[in-house]
Structure 1
Amino acid sequence: MSALRDNGFRFWTEEKLRNADTDQFRHVNNASIATLFEAARMEIFAPPQIHALMNGANLAVVRLLIEFDAELHFPGRVRVGSAVVEVGNTSFKVRQGLFDERQGTGCATAEAVCVLLHGETGRSYPIAPELRAYLLSDDAMEALA
């Protein structure tokens, strides 16, 4: 996806790159990029209001696809945009883009399928209508109000 653009993402996270994220060529390595995407997915669930909507459930990633479009170098900062593009009964799909703030370019895309799991039983757990509305809202914070 060489034409990665930052439009269409509803949730945004900024991260500082660390020297520990790099390989011997000072490229940010693929495991660190996966971690940056994970941090951004978890930001979707950071507002305290949604803990009640999750009713003690946890998230599990059951599928993760990452496409690397351009090299990313230390030092620097990145922005990760995320959008929930589908919500099922117990799972949802998140589309993400990672952007180098210094270069203003897209570096990687990800697609994750996440399942909501009951905190005690570990079994899939239904997504409440209010959580669904939050995940799919164009203005997520307004959906919480």
Structure 2
Amino acid sequence: MRVNVQRRDFRFWTEEKLRNADTDQFRHVNNAVIATFFEAARMEIFAPPAIRALMGGANLAVVRLLIEFSAELHFPGRVRVGSTVVEVGRTSFSVRQGLFGGARVDCCAAAQAVCVLVHGETRCPHPVAPQLRAYLLSRDDDTETFA
């Protein structure tokens, strides 16, 4: 996946606080915790009620997740996770993400996730509605435009 990830590449942003419990025996933030930060950032894309309404009763299922780690993180501190949707298919979409620690300019970890919309009742893949597709691919941060 080796990509040159920069802050300007992302539309959606999430901030997370590092906890002592996030560290491992090497005293740096554990890679499983970093995967959790990426998950939290992906879920925030769909948190606004207007966007949930566009999902037609579907939820997200991650079917592929690639993470590249490029720098250690240490407690205490905060991280910012940037996300952007790079492709939308019939029932799936691809999200590119970058995790930046504190004041660091460089990216500490990058992720690429393929997510499928799965209907809550039928448990089958659910089509991405045109308005949801427009929201995911837009560079506009105003969710009310898509409600």
Unaligned runs of 5+ in 2: none
Instruction: Give the CA deviation at 1:52.
Output: 1.1
* Paired residues of 1:2 and 1:69 also in contact (CA < 8 A): no
Who is 2:29 aligned against? Answer: 28
Instruction: Give the CA deviation at 1:4.
Output: 2.9
* Paired residues of 2:13 and 2:82 also in contact (CA < 8 A): yes
Deviations 1:65-116 (A, max 9, x none): 0000101111100000000000000000000000011333310000000000
Who is 1:136 aligned against? Answer: 137
Who is 1:111 aligned against? Answer: 112
TM-score, normalised to structure 2, is: 0.93
Identity of aligned residues (%): 73
TM-score, normalised to structure 1, is: 0.95
Aligned AA (2:125)? S
Deviations 1:33-90 (A, max 9, x none): 0000000000000111011100110100000000001011111000000000000000
After superposing on structure 2, the runs of 4+ consecutive aligned residues of structure 1 that deviate more than 4 Å are: none
* Paired residues of 1:95 and 1:112 also in contact (CA < 8 A): yes
Distance (whole Å) between structure 2 residues aligned to residue 82 and residue 53 of structure 1 = 19
Distance (whole Å) between structure 1 residues aligned to residue 52 and residue 69 of structure 2 = 33
Instruction: Give the CA deviation at 1:144.
Output: 2.6
RMSD: 1.4
Unaligned runs of 5+ in 1: none
Distance (whole Å) between structure 1 residues aligned to residue 45 and residue 125 of structure 2 = 19
Q: How many residues align?
A: 145
